[in-house]
Every structure is written in C-alpha cells, then in structure tokens.
Structure 1
Amino acid sequence: MNAYHAASDVSNPRGGLKLADIPAHDPFVVADGATQTYYLYTGGSPKLNGMERYGVLAYKSRDLAEWEGPYVVFTIPDGVWTNPQHGAWAPEVHAYGGHYYLFVTLHNNDKKLAGEGYGGYPLQWRGTAVAVSDSLDGPFELVKKNAPIVSEQLMTLDGSLFIDNEGKPWMVYCHEWVQTGDGTVEAVQLNAELTDSESESVHLFDGSEAPWDNGEHPPDGSKSVYVTDGCQLYLTSGNRLIMLWSTYDNGSYVQTIARSQTGKLEGPWEQLEPLVYDDSGHGMLFRTFQHEWMLILHSPFRMPDSRCKLYEMTDTGETFIVKTARRDLDGSNDVSAAE
C-alpha cells in the first residue's frame, strides 16, 4: 500500500497526520467552537480512499498541525439523479437553521446534454447537491433527490451558501466553461429549506474579466476558454464583500479574489490581484480559535499529488491579503508562491 493511500484509507482512520500526508482537493474547514475542533472536508473516492462509492470525507484536528481520519460523512446513495461512481467535488459544510448543510458537486456522465462541449469535453449532468445532518460528523442525507439545485440542463459546479443582509439564503456557483466557453459565476436564491431555487440566476461576472490573460487559446484558432472555480464569499472588518475564486494564469491554477463595488451580491465585481500562484487554488477562509484568518487551498491541481496548504491572512478592512505561508502547520517543504 502506497503512502498516500495509507494516509487516507477509510477502513483505517488514524491520528498524527500532517496535511502533507493527506491527498485532498477543494478543501473546506469548519472551526467548531463547541468542541474546539477543526473539521476538514474533502472529496473521497474508491481509488484513493478504498470507498465503495464516491462521497465526502472529514479529518479532525485541535491545532491544525496534526489530523486524524479519514471519516466518511457522506456517500452517494442509489436511486438519485447522480451516479455513485462518477465523482464528488468541492464539499462545503455550513451551519444554517439549526442544522448542518453539505454542498457538494455531483455528476451523472450517463445523462448527456444536447450540444458539444468546448475543448472536446462532453456535456452531461453536473451540479451542486445539498445534504443535511444534525452533526458535523454526518451522515448527511440529500434534501433533493431527482435533480441538482440549479437546472440539470446547465453544467454547474462549486455551489456555496451565502446569506444576504435580509437573511435570505443564496447559492453562489460556477457555470462550467465546458458548456459556456467563458465560465461564469452566478447566484440563485434558495428557499428556506435549501431544497430548491426560488429565483432566476443572477450573473455576477465572467472568467475572462480577470485582469490578466487567463484564457486557454487552442492552437487551431477556435474560441478561447476561461475557467471559473471555487467561489466563496466573506465580509471584511470594513464590511466589504469579498469573493475568493480560482482560474488559471499561464496554464497554472491560481487563487484569486474579487470585491463587490456596492457591497451587494449582484455587484458589480472588481477583480483584484491573485493571492497565491504556483498551481494553487480552490481555497476558503476560516477563523482559528485564536481569531486569526487562515486560507486553506490545494496545490498542485492534479490528484493524487494535491495537498492542502495553509496561509495566515490579514484583513485590511478593504480586502484580505496573504501574511505568511504556514508551512510549519501544513508540513509543506514548498517555497511560498504568495504575492
């Protein structure tokens, strides 16, 4: 058994793990004040983790330096719109209405959509599903079983919960570049139970709005494509609405950031300088139990080599900037690519 599988085998959860030991993609951390425990969520698969079907794993830590796990918190059930053998991406867990809600991107490659995708990729069912539990440890159960939250005719991914100033829930998500060419970030209002949408989608911005050339330009002269991934929203101490998202810079994954010029979800959104380069992205922010802002992301992009990296952040009131790479916590030997 190789090292990365030994550190992520669901049949043998263990302690003393560094983040550098754990193959992970699209990480999400919940800092649970009641138990003083950090929960790290990431997708789980049969190949990497010895699971019978795709799902979501959790690792636990008291200090961000040593972790225990993995523990299965969600597996894709039979009899739903998705296929248990076709993947689970970008898990997020949010406290809402007295419960915990898991947002996770699922797939059904057997359910084809009309038309041809960009880059030679097929069009198929892909979208964010929502599952609920009374515990951060799960198990989480899907709240809608016949289709993803956004129309199944749209290839979408990386849905994230956002609560507006009126207390209304929204899902902010990415419309997949495979279907659009120029990937977008969109938002849709949800009902109170988070089981379905209650509005038409609101367009926030296009991937091509990044202030650098982040497109992939095919040599045959066909249309360039622009990736949008991993949208997450936060408020600064100055009440500025910030969005983390990921795209590419010269073919390498990059963690970037945008800011609403009005402080409202509908924007308009201005694109700021990226936070971390070096094939790094799909990050999220959380507060430590010492009230420090931390960024966690994965690098490099491809599994099984992808690992979580930690960065201590500064809230300037206007935005968030990288203070320092915390290689002492994540066990990384990489040189920081933070700007």
Structure 2
Amino acid sequence: MTPIGRRALIGALGAAATVPLAGGTSLAAGEPPSGLRMNEFWAHDAFVVADRSTGTYHLYHTTPEDSPEPQLVTFSYRSRDLVSWQGPYVVFRVPEGNWAKDGGWAPEVHRYRGRWYLFVTLHDADAELAAPPRVPYRTHRRGTIVAVGDSPAGPFTPLDLERPHTPDTFMALDGTLFVERGQPWLVYAHEWVQRLDGTMEAIRLAPDLTGTVGDPVHLFKASDALGINQVVTADAAPLTYVTDGPQFHRGRTGDLLMLWSTWMGPSGAQYYVQTQARSASGTLAGPWEQRPVLVEDNAGHGMPFRAFDGTLLMVLHHPFGSPDSRAQLYELHDAGDRFELGRRRRDLDGGDP
C-alpha cells in the first residue's frame, strides 16, 4: 500500500471521498480507508489517546496546510492494536465567528472531570501583535484554544469563540493540560518568534477550563537545554532557541518529568530533537533541570502514553516538516528521574516510509 501523505489526504477529502464525522455522519457516503500502518499516512505533532473504555486508540495530528475543507478541522485516526488504523475522521470544526483563520496545530485530547477536552493551536496572521524590542520578526495572534466533547471521537465545541486560552498578546502554541493537586494548568510554549529565546510557561485554568486565572508562570527557557551552549555559536540564528510540545509524566519514583522539543546544531545545520526535563521539587513550579536528549534524528514533538498491555510508549514525528512527517513509536523506560529510550517499535509503526 502506498503512503497516504498530505496530497493523498486531500484526495480523501474530495467529492468522492469518505471522511466520517464523530457521531456517524460523513462528508460522503461510505467508510474512510482502513488497514493503514502509521508509516502510510501523514502525521505531524502526533498525539495518542488510549481509551480503555472502548479499547480504541485515537491518533490526532496537525491539520495539513492545504486541506480543502472550507473550515478549519482537526483529524484523527483510530486503531484497536496500534498496527492497523482507520481514518481520517473529522473530530472538530472551527465554527464561523471564531477569532482564528488558520492553524489546527498540535491537537491533543484529555479526559477531565468526566468529559473530554481538545487543546489545539490556531492563529490569525492578519492580527498583528506589537513586537518587543530587538525582535526582528512580524508577530501575530497565535494561541491554544480549549474545546469540549463527550468522547475522544468528538465532536468538540470551543469554550471561547473570542480569544485563545493562552495569553492573548503572546504568540503561544502547543498548549497541554496538567492537573496538580486538583488545580488544572495550561502549559504552553511561548514562541521564539516573539521571545528570541523561547520559553515554557504555565497559567492556571478555571476549574471548568472555561478561562484562565492570574498571570503566567515561567518554567524554563529553550537555551537551558543540554547541548545548546556547547554547539551554538554567538551568531546563531534565533531559530535555535525553540520550545515545542510540553508533555508530562509522573515517574515511578514520584519525579515529575517533561518531554519537550527544540532545535540544536550550529547555525545553518540545525536539527529537531526530542529532549526532556525534570522538576527538582516534583511540582510544576520546578526548578526544572534539563536531562539528556532522547532522539536527535530531526524528530520530536513526542508524547508518552500507556498501551493497553501496560507498555510505556512515546509517539513522535519523523522527519520534521511536510509532506513526509510520519508517526513513530518508541518504548520508554521510566528511570525515575529521567526517561531512557527503549527500542523503536517498527513492528507497530510499520518502519520508515
């Protein structure tokens, strides 16, 4: 079977295509492609929900830039065994009247207080933001929204049509949910485009996730990553100092670990990496200590999840960029104060495209 990349996804969304919506309705009659391996469909910023109540894995990914859908949508694929997948399904449509015009980046779905919540990054390139001093880039409205549904299959409804949940004057992305002692937090990356040295930050969420409370809390900056100072020269481009994809895991010893991604390498020869950090206090407040890079091969934006057999896995995309990004699976070993990378599960993800 030939790989289903962005072009094939667009074909699957055409007039003769079948893209079922959550709840059983479809864009066209029939069923979407089934029997797909992970290396046969495009998946950037992959996120996997293992829903034990239905025995189903749901994989969400960033919306293709050239999707022909008239409204912004979020897609998912479904599997019973991580080997054979069916999709794409549409789980979310940005309603008219929403502030966003583009995006659909890094969708992820979390269960909270009996319901399911979609976190996805949208933007409006026409809404320019004031750039801080020394920032040479054009900055515009970008942030993570939160939408609610009754199932990981959606459909999801935005909690706020007027603004993102991340601070409205920030270029922010990759927001995720973290709950600490009952208090929900939105953890996100504050863009290097606006900061030069991107940061990881957190802001309190209201108990019902409808909004935020108080000011952002700084966790760490991108240039803290192990290896950055050793390989980056003084004239390196700001692109080097990137924060992407925060994801949390409580280690077997109680340590709080975070997977996150950045760019490394000298100016002109940078590559995307999957790295990690540990909170010295065991709480979100940190301080955060950086740990060794896990995957260097122009791969990243990983997230940990438990397979139904109990195996701790990490899904990430490789390579970085379109149209070739594919989801890949690795075993993760919980060493307590850090992750250790296990074997690549080519038996599940189908190997390299």
* TM-score > 0.5, shorter chain as reference: yes
- AA at the equivalent of 1:202: V
- Equivalent-residue separation in structure 2 for 1:132 and 1:218 (angstroms): 45
Matched, 1:111 2:90: no
- AA at the equivalent of 2:62: G
Q: Per-residue CA shift, 1:218-276, capped at 9, x if unaligned?
A: 86x88675100000111011111000000012110000000001101110000000111
Counterparts of 1:247-286 in structure 2 under 5 Å?
Answer: 247-250=262-265, 251-286=270-305
What SS does the corresponding residue of 2:295 show, helix, strand or coil?
Answer: coil
- Could you say which residue in structure 2 is the equivalent of 1:97? 113
- Equivalent-residue separation in structure 1 for 2:79 and 2:52 (angstroms): 12
- Equivalent-residue separation in structure 2 for 1:193 and 1:72 (angstroms): 25
Q: Per-residue CA shift, 1:278-319, capped at 9, x if unaligned?
A: 000001000000001000000111111100010011112232
- Could you say which residue in structure 2 is the equivalent of 1:207? 222
Matched, 1:82 2:100: yes
- Equivalent-residue separation in structure 1 for 2:241 and 2:228 (angstroms): 9
- AA at the equivalent of 1:64: L
Gaps of 5+ in 2: 19-31
- Equivalent-residue separation in structure 1 for 2:133 and 2:36 (angstroms): 40
- Identity among equivalent pairs (%): 46
Change (3 A) 1:2 1:50: farther
Which of the numbers 169, 183, 202 marks the counterpart of 1:168? 183
- After TM superposition, the score normalised by the length of structure 1 is 0.91
What SS does the corresponding residue of 1:294 show, helix, strand or coil?
Answer: strand
Matched, 1:231 2:231: no
1:212 to partner: Cα distance: 1.1
- Equivalent-residue separation in structure 1 for 2:112 and 2:281 (angstroms): 25
- AA at the equivalent of 1:177: W
Matched, 1:333 2:343: no
Change (3 A) 1:32 1:199: same
- Equivalent-residue separation in structure 2 for 1:205 and 1:19 (angstroms): 33
Deviates more, 1:288-297 or 1:116-125: 116-125
- Could you say which residue in structure 2 is the equivalent of 1:198? 213
CA contact (8 A) 1:216 1:226 kept: no
Matched, 1:321 2:336: no
Matched, 1:150 2:166: yes
- Could you say which residue in structure 2 is the equivalent of 1:35? 54
Change (3 A) 1:118 1:98: farther
CA contact (8 A) 1:118 1:178 kept: no
CA contact (8 A) 2:135 2:195 kept: no
What SS does the corresponding residue of 2:169 show, helix, strand or coil?
Answer: coil
1:325 to partner: Cα distance: 0.4
- Equivalent-residue separation in structure 1 for 2:182 and 2:311 (angstroms): 26
CA contact (8 A) 2:275 2:293 kept: yes
- Equivalent-residue separation in structure 2 for 1:290 and 1:269 (angstroms): 31
- AA at the equivalent of 2:8: A
1:102 to partner: Cα distance: 0.2
- Could you say which residue in structure 1 is the equivalent of 2:175? 159
- After TM superposition, the score normalised by the length of structure 2 is 0.88
